[in-house]
Structure 1
Amino acid sequence: MRIDLHTHSNVSDGTETPAELITAAAAAGLDVVALTDHDQTSGWDQARVTAQDLGIGFIPGMEITCQDSHGISVHLLSYLHDPSYQPLLDELAVSLNSRIVRAQRIVERLAEDYPISWELVTEHCQPGATVGRPHIADALVTAGVVAHRNEAFANILSSRSRYYVSHPAINPAAAVRLVREAGGVPVFAHPKAALRGRVVPESTVHEMIEAGLGGVEVYHRDNSAEGKEQLLALASEHDLIVTGSSDYHGTGKLNRLGENLTEPAMLERILAQGTGTSAQLQS
């Protein structure tokens, strides 16, 4: 069974509709796929219907934007949570608003040196979608500043760039607790992705574990080889679920569907813990 538990549609920063994404997942030979748009669940219904039509399993999920006490960005995957749980929705609303303000400030800084505007960025974002740096990257591609998103994130939009702007977001341990309260299963996304920016210290990880962290995304292209070994040791020590995923964004990134996979036994553990909403698996 080929299982990919981390993908994005144009509800956030992917380039395909939820239906197109599920269609691509089926064409890639996946048996089960999770839709995990940033801070949004509005793509679930379309993805679920398409998955049913194509005979592919669907896991509803989301990727929550967090920031630890050291100011380091953390992404938390949530599977099978109740999308109507109001305390979580309240936090997501704050995050979505801060994302917009942050993106506008980044664009203002970039506009001093590059032919980019807020209007150009919004042309690359679907109505109601979660605005983020990937849309700014797409605008930079359109403006001819970079060749693709990966180049933008490696330089101009990296956390080390002078154009970078941080933004307030929920503490990751608090996010873990909210996901659990909503009946979901929290998994730390690409914890050792050093190329993306600073990696959180062990203290942050242990705070998340104490709060109820369910798993760690080990097999991801942005985790270093050494980081994967460290994560496997951590998972063994604390009996955490181990996942592998593509973090697919359509044409927005080089990541390909199914390039990293999750073992069926690990999916079973997620299904056993998640009570907020239902998975849709094919018999």
Structure 2
Amino acid sequence: MRIDLHTHSRASDGTQSPAELVHAAVAADLDVLALTDHDTAAGWDEAAGAASAAGLRLVRGMEISTRFDGQGVHLLAYLPDPSYPPLAAELERILEGRRSRVPGILEGLRGAGISLTEADVARVSGHSAASGRPHVADALVALGVVADRTEAFDRLLSPGRPGYVDRYAAPLRDMIGLVAAAGGVSVVAHVWGRRHDESPDGRALAELAGLGLAGIEVDHQDHSPAARERLRGIARELDLVVTGSSDHHGDGKVDHDLGCHTTAPEQLERLLDLAAAAALASGRDAPGPV
């Protein structure tokens, strides 16, 4: 069984519709797919319909922007009830942070001699829940300023670059509890990816496990083999679920093909058991897998 628990559609910053993503997953011989768009459940219904028709098992989730001790950390939330008012309000606040930073990004790019408009960004963002840096990157690609998203981020959009603008992210400690209250479970995403040090470290991850963190995304393209082994050891010590995924964005990310990293079936079943227990404890009408 091949299981990919972290993917994105055009509902956030992927380049495929939710249905197209499902069809691509079937073509990639996946048996289970999680749709985890950034800070939104907007693609769930379309993906669920396509998955049911295609015979693919779908796990509904989202990747939530959070901050932990001054660092940005992404949290994968699986099977929460997105209509739970405190969660819905926090997701809207995060999305508004994405939307509101675009004018500042464009102003910074103009200061670097690059003329890009909000209309240019809107042409590539389509039906996403909120335009953000990836869509600015796509607009830069469309104008021929850069070759791909990676170059756009490296040259222009990352911290310290002319087009970088900070934005709101939810407190990680609070968000773990909020996801649980919504009947879902949390897995920290690519926790050591793109960092110069291994942080949050084992002690910090132990604290988060005490707050209800269910797992660590260990097998990810941005983790070196050595980092994966160290994270696997931490997960074992803390009795956390170990997941693996592609972090697929369609054409938006190179070397993140569907199924390039997968989750073991027994780890998925453990995650789903924890989600079922969280839904029962919360009393929420949380969605099960399709």
Q: TM-score, normalised by structure 2?
A: 0.91
Do the aligned partners of residues 263 and 198 (structure 1) sit closer, same or farther apart at CA in structure 2, a change above 3 Å counting? same
Does structure 2 conserve the Cα–Cα contact (< 8 Å) formed by 1:39 and 1:130? Answer: no
Q: CA deviation at 1:103?
A: 2.4
Instruction: Describe how 1:257-272 pairs up with structure 2 within 5 A.
Output: 257-272=258-273
Question: Which amino acid is the alignment partner of residue 73 of structure 1?
Answer: G
Q: Which residue of 2 aligns with 1:78?
A: 77
Q: Which residue of 2 aligns with 1:125?
A: 125
Question: Which amino acid is the alignment partner of residue 108 of structure 2?
Answer: R
Tell me the distance in 2 between the aligned counterparts of 1:30 and 1:95.
31
Does structure 2 conserve the Cα–Cα contact (< 8 Å) formed by 1:40 and 1:130? Answer: no
Question: Which amino acid is the alignment partner of residue 233 of structure 1?
Answer: G
Indicate the percent of aligned positions where both proteins have the same amino acid: 46
RMSD: 1.6
SS in 1 for 2:251: coil
Does structure 2 conserve the Cα–Cα contact (< 8 Å) formed by 1:121 and 1:136? Answer: yes
Q: CA deviation at 1:256?
A: 0.3
Q: Which residue of 2 aligns with 1:212?
A: 212
SS in 2 for 1:251: helix
Q: Which sits farther off after the overlay, 206-215 or 267-276? A: 206-215
- CA distances 1:52-83 after superposition (whole Å, capped 9, x unpaired): 1111110000000111232x211100111112
Tell me the distance in 2 between the aligned counterparts of 1:129 and 1:166.
19
Q: Which residue of 1 aligns with 2:282?
A: none
SS in 2 for 1:124: helix
Tell me the distance in 2 between the aligned counterparts of 1:151 and 1:122.
20
Q: Which residue of 1 aligns with 2:168?
A: 168
Question: Which amino acid is the alignment partner of residue 24 of structure 1?
Answer: A
Q: Which residue of 2 aligns with 1:135?
A: 135
**Gaps spanning 5+ residues in structure 1: where?**
none
Question: Which amino acid is the alignment partner of residue 80 of structure 1?
Answer: L
SS in 2 for 1:114: coil
Q: Which residue of 2 aligns with 1:31?
A: 31
SS in 2 for 1:155: helix
Tell me the distance in 2 between the aligned counterparts of 1:14 and 1:128.
9
Q: Which residue of 1 aligns with 2:67?
A: 67
Does structure 1 conserve the Cα–Cα contact (< 8 Å) formed by 2:77 and 2:187? Answer: yes
Instruction: Describe how 1:106-117 pairs up with structure 2 within 5 A.
Output: 106-112=105-111, 113-117=113-117
Q: CA deviation at 1:242?
A: 0.4
Instruction: Describe how 1:183-202 pairs up with structure 2 within 5 A.
Output: 183-194=183-194, 200-202=199-201
Q: Which residue of 2 aligns with 1:273?
A: 274
Do the aligned partners of residues 199 and 166 (structure 1) sit closer, same or farther apart at CA in structure 2, a change above 3 Å counting? farther
Q: Which residue of 2 aligns with 1:104?
A: 103
Question: Which amino acid is the alignment partner of residue 102 of structure 2?
Answer: A
Question: Which amino acid is the alignment partner of residue 278 of structure 1?
Answer: G
**Gaps spanning 5+ residues in structure 2: where?**
280-285
Do the aligned partners of residues 111 and 162 (structure 1) sit closer, same or farther apart at CA in structure 2, a change above 3 Å counting? closer
Question: Which amino acid is the alignment partner of residue 22 of structure 1?
Answer: V
Q: CA deviation at 1:230?
A: 2.0
Q: Which residue of 1 aligns with 2:86?
A: 87
SS in 1 for 2:8: coil
Q: CA deviation at 1:250?
A: 0.7
Q: Which residue of 2 aligns with 1:49?
A: 49
Do the aligned partners of residues 77 and 153 (structure 1) sit closer, same or farther apart at CA in structure 2, a change above 3 Å counting? same
Tell me the distance in 2 between the aligned counterparts of 1:161 and 1:224.
25
How many aligned residue pairs are there?
278
Q: CA deviation at 1:253?
A: 1.0
Does structure 1 conserve the Cα–Cα contact (< 8 Å) formed by 2:193 and 2:222? Answer: yes
Tell me the distance in 1 between the aligned counterparts of 2:160 and 2:223.
18
Q: Which residue of 1 aligns with 2:251?
A: 251
Q: CA deviation at 1:268?
A: 0.2
Tell me the distance in 1 between the aligned counterparts of 2:109 and 2:21.
31
Tell me the distance in 2 between the aligned counterparts of 1:13 and 1:110.
20
SS in 1 for 2:66: strand
Do the aligned partners of residues 217 and 150 (structure 1) sit closer, same or farther apart at CA in structure 2, a change above 3 Å counting? same
SS in 2 for 1:187: strand
Tell me the distance in 2 between the aligned counterparts of 1:199 and 1:133.
25
Question: Which amino acid is the alignment partner of residue 277 of structure 1?
Answer: P
Tell me the distance in 2 between the aligned counterparts of 1:17 and 1:246.
17
Tell me the distance in 1 between the aligned counterparts of 2:239 and 2:129.
35
